[in-house]
Each structure stands twice: as C-alpha cells, then as structure tokens.
Structure 1
Amino acid sequence: MYRSFSHLLLITCFLIISACKTAIITTSVNTANIEVTNNISPTDSQLIKIYLPYKEALDKDMSRVISTSENEMVKEKPESNLTNFLADLLLEEGKFVVQQQGLNIHPAVSYFNYGGIRTPLPRGPITVGKIYELMPFDNELVFVQITGKQLAGFFNGIAAKGGDAIGGARFVISKKRAKNITIDGTPINDNSNYWVVTNDYIAGGGDGMEVFKTNTGYVDSGLKIRDLIINYLEKKQQKGEILSTGKDGRISYE
C-alpha cells in the first residue's frame, strides 16, 4: 500500500512539473553566411586541411572557360537570344542522345521553361560557374510524346503568357492564342503524335504543365541538362566556334 502510494505521489509530481514547464516557441531564425578562407585556426585545422583541397579543385573547375559568346544573352518574351539558344541546344542534344542511346523516337519540339533560366550569359568568356548560375537545378533531359491537339493547347498556354523558350516550332500570338503553328516548317496536325524534349520537372507537371502528365510516351535519358550544356559548349570551343545567337521570329505577335 505504501509503495503504491509512493508511486502515485511520484507520478502526480511528475505531471505537475511537466504541466508547469514553459513552452519554447521559435519566433524567428537568424541566418548568416560564414566565409571559409585559408586562415586555419588550431581548433579546426584538421577539418579545414581536409576541406581546402576540395574547395580549391571546385573553384578551379568553376572558373574554367568553356566557351566565348559574341553577345550578352538575356531572356525576354516572346523570344530572345538566350531562350532560343537554350531551346535549340536542348533539341539538338536531344536528337544526339536518341542516336547515342538507340531510342526509337523522333524529337520534334523542345521546351526549356522560362522560369528555370536564372541568369543571363555574359558577352565574352563563359565559365562552368556561369552555367551553374544559369541553371542551378539537377533536372534531367526527358522525352515526352503528346498529340498535336495537346501540343497546340500547350502553345496556346505559352501565347497567353507572352512567349517562352521553344525549339522546332513557330507560331504567331493573336489575342493571347497561338495561330499558324508549324512544326519543322509543317502545319501542326491535331491527330499526329509529337515527341517533345524537356526536363523531368516540366514532364511531371511542374509550372502548371499538366499536359505532359497525360502523355502517350515517356523516356528519361538519365542525363542532367546542365551537364549537356557544358559538354555542348566545350565541343563548340574545341572547334574554335564562338557563340552567336539571336532572334528569328519563331514566336511573334500578329
């Protein structure tokens, strides 16, 4: 009886103490950037000595020049030299990947989402770091097949937003709708199927692109688009080619 009473007393005291505890609520969080330098203090010298070689190697790679641009490339609507360049690159590399991987598909259109283009590319030398700034995401290149009717609806959505980054197609914006749509110079056919080269985020319905979720075919290349851009620019540089891009009227207003 005494032991039971003691246990009851202890439990009661515990509940009272628990109930009296002051609740801690986080009302704000302060953040700050801490710069890592070559100054090594005795307390963290071992950690920094391990880290610095990797940091130096990364800095060296990020500053590596992989191309040279004749002009500054910026994104604008309905089209721009940067959006056209990226969309055309995506389509070209997509066709190359199809051959390389032996895929039985025929990419006709490319879409490089406008919101995923984060910075301009400068005139003059372009470094690896600039490509990471341009596209900081690890999106992969994918192929999505949709019908001509779906593709026309997709272009209507682009027209309503005032333009975007597309390759392989042309159309005129009239009253926020796409008209005179052509794919590789041929009028779009509602009953045909078209393979679109884009990224896995968009193919999954990102940015409201629900049309790609109701596809009739899907292939993931397993390749990161950022890596493809870097490799593409390196190949151009090895050939001594300077980037020269511009507008070509692929999206225009009536």
Structure 2
Amino acid sequence: MMFRTFSLTVLITYFLLATACKSTHISSVSYQNTAVDEQINTIDSNLVSIYLPYKNKLDNDMNRVISVCETDMVKNKPESGLTNLLADLLLEEGKTEAGNQSLNFVPEVSFFNYGGIRTGLQKGIIKVGKAFEIMPFENEMVFVQLTGTQLQQFYDLIAESGGGSVGGVRFVISDKKAKHIIVSGKPLQPENKYWMVTNDYAANGGDDLSILRQRLDFKNTGLKIRDVIIRNFEKQHKSGITLKENLDGRISNE
C-alpha cells in the first residue's frame, strides 16, 4: 500500500552518513522491503522512533476528510460530471487567485487536460489522498492570454479529440470542429483577448497543444493544481456543499 513500505536502502544510507567521517570499507550491500508499523522489531529501534512520527503525520494528512461526493464520477467525452467538476473548480479558483495576487484580469475560461485526470471519484467521503490520486503530478496553476482566433483553434483541437474538461465555455462539435462557441455567455469574438486558467504542462504545449505556446501573455500562480483541488474541496465541505455531478451540455455533438 502507498506509504506502507520502507526500504532498508534508507537504513544503509543512514549508516553511510553516520560513518562518513570514519575509515570504513563496505564490501557488499543488500536490501529488502519491510512493512513499517509499530510492531516492527528487526530494525534499529532508534531509527524507527525517528521515522514513525513522520509516518503517522503523513497518514493523518492523507486521511483528512475534505469533501463528500454524492455519486460516482468518471471522466468521459464529450463531457462528464468529473471533467466538468474539475474545469469549474479550476475556473473558480483561478478567479479567486487572480484577485489574491492583485492581477489586472480575471480568467474567463478554464482547461484541465484530459490525460492529467488519473482517476475518478467514488460516492462517499473524499480524503486528501484522493486528490493525490486524481492529480499525482506537480503541475502548477497558470494563466495564458489568447486571441479569440487562437481560442477558436484551441477548441477545434478539443473538438477533434472528442471533447474534454473545459469551463466557462459552450460549443457544438461538428465535423471535428468547434462551432457556435459561447464564452461567458457571449459569442466568441476573433479580435478579442481572453485569459484562460490551466496547468503549466498544457500551457507549455503538452498533449499536442502547441497553440497555447503561441499565447500573448503568461502568468504562473505558483500553486500546485493538486493543492488547488484540496483547497476548493475543503472550502465547499466547510460550507456544507457536497460534490455533485453537473452535466450541462457545455460540449455537445451535432
């Protein structure tokens, strides 16, 4: 299980550091994986006494309840409860962070790359560990500014892939193109400029999204996407709001 095994390689490293100032010759090294718990008695008790408090704190952090989900959610295309939830969460937190950092803009749309969503949500209690499962990567929340023409090209790519995790926008997929695009309740204007909140992986062209590298401007919040998810879930939970599936037809097939 995650965080439940402790390699004796660590003990070897500890020993090497402790004896670094001595003249010692090591003829061979071997290791094995050993489950760590309070009953362990084959490892130096002093080292275990150092390690266990950190292990217990980590276990407590990972098992902290941050939300309750009303139904199972999995990702799907053109839209799904999970992809919509994450995109809306990202847009909400992006707007909040733009204010927190006193930026002179507010993001109008959001994008959560489909491949970056690594698992779904199950009905019931949601703990911190689930956020690590959904987003195990160290991606950060960023803002990119695009022209309306570039945003059209971006949504064409999403349409070509069959849909995805987008917020603040509605469009119809027709012949693998995005048609009738509505942003913030208004038709997309090619000459306008729009701010999108996404992650640094996508912003740097990941998942064949090179159009995002042609952006007009870029801002990095310095916040991990995973931490943003945890923050939002906890905020909603403290307000008594549960996670609900929201299929609103933001992406539909013609």
Normalising by the smaller structure, the TM-score range is 0.7 to 0.9
Q: CA deviation at 1:205?
A: 1.0
> Residue 179 of structure 1 aligns to which amino acid in structure 2?
K
Partner SS, residue 240 of structure 1:
coil
Q: Distance in 2 between matches of 1:155 and 1:34?
A: 49
TM alignment of 1:233-252, pairs within 5 A: 233-252=233-252
Q: Distance in 2 between matches of 1:139 and 1:190?
A: 29
Deviation string 1:222-244 (CA, Å, 9 cap, x unpaired) is 11111111111111111111121
Provide the residue aligned with 2:5 in structure 1.
none
1:118 maps onto 2:118 in alignment: yes
Deviation string 1:84-122 (CA, Å, 9 cap, x unpaired) is 000000001000001111000121110000001001011
Provide the residue aligned with 1:23 in structure 2.
none
Q: CA deviation at 1:47?
A: 2.1
TM alignment of 1:205-220, pairs within 5 A: 205-220=205-220
Q: CA deviation at 1:42?
A: 4.8
Q: Please identify the structure whose Cα radius of gyration is greater.
A: 1
Provide the residue aligned with 1:60 in structure 2.
60
> Residue 117 of structure 1 aligns to which amino acid in structure 2?
I
Q: Distance in 1 between matches of 2:154 and 2:52?
A: 48
Q: Distance in 2 between matches of 1:230 and 1:178?
A: 32
Q: Distance in 2 between matches of 1:240 and 1:246?
A: 18
1:35 maps onto 2:8 in alignment: no
Provide the residue aligned with 1:168 in structure 2.
168
Provide the residue aligned with 2:182 in structure 1.
182
> Residue 235 of structure 1 aligns to which amino acid in structure 2?
K
Provide the residue aligned with 2:108 in structure 1.
108
Partner SS, residue 35 of structure 2:
coil
Q: Distance in 2 between matches of 1:194 and 1:38?
A: 55
Partner SS, residue 122 of structure 1:
coil
For residues 43 and 167 of structure 1, do their structure 2 counterparts lie closer, same or farther at Cα, with a shift above 3 Å needed?
Answer: closer
Partner SS, residue 222 of structure 2:
strand
Q: Distance in 2 between matches of 1:242 and 1:189?
A: 36
Partner SS, residue 108 of structure 2:
strand
Q: Distance in 2 between matches of 1:142 and 1:96?
A: 13
Provide the residue aligned with 1:227 in structure 2.
227
Q: Distance in 1 between matches of 2:109 and 2:241?
A: 25
Q: CA deviation at 1:43?
A: 4.4
For residues 33 and 211 of structure 1, do their structure 2 counterparts lie closer, same or farther at Cα, with a shift above 3 Å needed?
Answer: farther
Partner SS, residue 222 of structure 1:
strand
For residues 160 and 34 of structure 1, do their structure 2 counterparts lie closer, same or farther at Cα, with a shift above 3 Å needed?
Answer: farther
Q: CA deviation at 1:155?
A: 0.5
Mean CA deviation greater in 47-56 or 90-99: 47-56
> Residue 177 of structure 2 aligns to which amino acid in structure 1?
R
Q: TM-score, normalised by structure 1?
A: 0.85
TM alignment of 1:142-157, pairs within 5 A: 142-157=142-157
Q: CA deviation at 1:32?
A: 8.5
Mean CA deviation greater in 41-50 or 214-223: 41-50
Structure 2: gaps spanning 5 or more residues: 1-30
Q: CA deviation at 1:33?
A: 6.0
Deviation string 1:143-175 (CA, Å, 9 cap, x unpaired) is 000111111011111111100000001110111
Deviation string 1:49-101 (CA, Å, 9 cap, x unpaired) is 21111111111111111111111111000000000000000001000001111
RMSD over aligned CA atoms reads 1.5
Aligned residues: 224
Provide the residue aligned with 2:204 in structure 1.
204
Q: CA deviation at 1:39?
A: 3.4
Q: TM-score, normalised by structure 2?
A: 0.85
Provide the residue aligned with 1:86 in structure 2.
86
Q: Distance in 2 between matches of 1:198 and 1:85?
A: 14
Partner SS, residue 107 of structure 1:
coil
Q: Distance in 1 between matches of 2:220 and 2:107?
A: 13
